[in-house]
Amino acid sequence: MAEKLELEVERIFEIIKEENNFLLSGGAGSGKTFSLVQIIKKAIEDNPASKIACMTYTNAAVKEIEDRVNHENLYVSTIHDFLWDNIKSFQRDLKKGLIALINDENSKIISPDGYVDELYFNGVNSIQYKEYTRIKEGIISHNEVLELANYLYKSYPLLCDILKDKFKFIFIDEYQDTSPLVIEIFLKHLKQSSKKNIIGFFGDSMQAIYEDGVGDLNKYIEFNDVKEVRMKQNRRNPRLVMNLSNILRVDGLVQEPSTDIEAPNMSNGNVKEGQIKFLYSSNKNLNEIKKMDIFEGWNFNDAKQTKELYLTHNLIAPKAGFPKLMEIYDKDPIIDLKNKIKAKIKSDNLEIDEEKTFDQIVDLIALKNRQKLRKDIITEDPESKALYEQLKDLPFSKVKKMYLEKDSLIDDKKQDETDENKKNSSRDALINHLFKIQFIVQLYKGKLYNEFIKKTEFQIISIEKKHEVKEIIANIEKMSDFTIEEVINYANEKRICQKDDGFNNFIKENDYLFNRVKKIKFQEFQNLFFYLEGYTPFSTQHKIKGAEFDNVLVILENGGWNNFNFDYLFCGRTDKEKIYSRTQKIFYVCCTRAKENLIVFYHDPSDIVINQAMNWFGKENVHKVE
């Protein structure tokens, strides 16, 4: 017996029958992923010989699709992988396209050699897609893939024919976070081909929380390039959370309880009531506040059921116990100085000798405002002065290539320990090596001995060796107060986790970073590990899109991030339109994670903020915490 289709899904297939592209819009908790799976199954059933591509962002969505739709003609991937797989064979065109973009002043693809001629890639065997960019060697990364694919599909209509021939259906999940360059490929450039295929989009413009995403498809809807179908049901949120989320929406989509009595937010045929509270206080000690009766029944040690949401990892790091590691990767003063110097060279179009020392280049570039650039770094902060001393005599050509970014530290955040790791994590080789050590410890502790043996060089060939490995693991667990370098050396010496070529090469090329990290206590890394592996209740507000929890505590603090401002949101600062809109969307995403209880905490708000909270949450749900 065929699965009964949702009304919105039936409408989608009417649009497909009319040979039109479609957009399935739905608010948080509307069951878009369930509908996506239904549409894929029905498309396969109706077109058993046709290939279907599905691109999605979240691990949960990928896993659900792969688990529920196992068919040889279904191709599930990320957008970057999909585009690269479909252009990588056209190497001559890739090289010509890259050269054209390098020489285009509007392109973000820049060669270290400036403008280049048509022979630039003659010595390069093939253009490759990797996790890093080396244009001169023909190695491109994520951003270049999008721009290059857009250029190729715009310039070569034959590629559009090939793609349409290959895939009868192309579905894009979480479309609102997709680059406008990608949307252009599918809704503009593919029009050059007279062949037929269907492009389907799934998502919610109110959950467009990434700056580089397209946000919405309004202009394409207006010109009938896409037909929109809206899902009004809400299967996740209790009534009070749903009412709040409807207030926060600005696109006219008003959600209603699902008619399905089996929906998660239904109980005995009625939608659950739920709880929403807005707490405020001059006291920032959340540990004290979380002891209040209002949090009774909340288990902050259960990451699957309870989440504590902050805007940035920087706000979480001190609470989760890895502040020094975060500071190294995100706020290195010398790397910040180097970036300012590079920006000055570029903005003033200066010719410099890169074999001069970093110190000489600082003097040269900052002649007029030398004190402004160097005073804080060298004379006022002893730690920064010591860091500067490490780099000042190195050639600028080496220093300018040094990059530190927090994704190398905190990429691939899980919502709980059962979530799957992301495929293309940006974590660097040093952090990955530390992860290997801790994973090996976790495998042994979990009695997963077969997996443990595969991951380690330690040979367990006797009873004595069994006792020895038990002692080694116990020792590593006790090394929290040792430095990271001491733990790495101990694990290497005992053959539990040996230093490999990847690790050694990384340390050789990034000795400045390693010199900072190696002195940190291993406890900080252990805290980072448990945070990233989803053992803690903490998460950023960006990382939880698509997830849901019984209990959600949202901390409204900006954390020095200028792209968001909760004061603007509650005070109605629509004159700051972009910041206001971004903040409204991130707040919407946070609130709609709650399946039972939602509590929002605001530190020291103004009277205007409190009044708006009363409008949105209800006067009876707004409380001052003494």
Task: Report whether 572 belongs to an annotated binding site.
Answer: no
CB burial readout 52-91, b (16+ within 10 A) else e: bbbbbbbbbbbebbeeebeeebbbbbbbbbbbbebbeebe
Place of tokens 């899904």: 9
Q: Distance between alpha carbon 152 and the CA centroid of its chain, in Å?
A: 27
Q: Which of 553, 479, 480, 512 is nearest to 303 (CA)?
A: 553
Q: Is 164 assigned to a binding site?
A: no
Q: How many residues does the chain have?
A: 626
Angle, helices 323-330/522-532, rounded to nearest 10 degrees: 80
Could you tell me the CA-to-CA distances from 422 to 83, 142, 316, 440, 595 in Å, in that order? Answer: 19, 15, 21, 19, 25
DSSP 8-state code for residue 294: G
252 is in an annotated binding site: no
Taking alpha carbons only, the member of 386, 406, 427, 410 closest to residue 515 is: 386
Q: Is 35 annotated as a binding residue?
A: no
| DSSP result, 127-144 | -EE-SS-BGGGTEE-HHH
Report helix, strand and coil shares of the chain as percent, to nearest 5: 50, 15, 40
In degrees and rounded to multiples of 5, residue 83 shows phi and psi of: -65, -45
| 232 contacts 254 by C-beta, under 8 angstroms | yes
Residue 194 marked in a binding site:
no
Give exposure, 534-566, as e/b (b: 16+ Cβ within 10 Å).
bbbbbbbbbbbbbbbbbbbbbbbbbeeeeebbb
The one-letter amino acid at 390: Q
Tell me the CB-side half-sphere exposure of residue 516, using CA atoms within 13 A: 24
Whole-angstrom Cα distance, residue 212 to residue 204? 15
| Residue 29 annotated as part of some ligand binding site | yes
32 labeled binding residue: yes
152 CB-near residues (< 8 Å, 6+ apart): 87, 90, 93, 94, 97, 159
**27 annotated to bind ligand:** yes
Binding-site positions read 26-33
Binding-site positions for ATP read 26-33
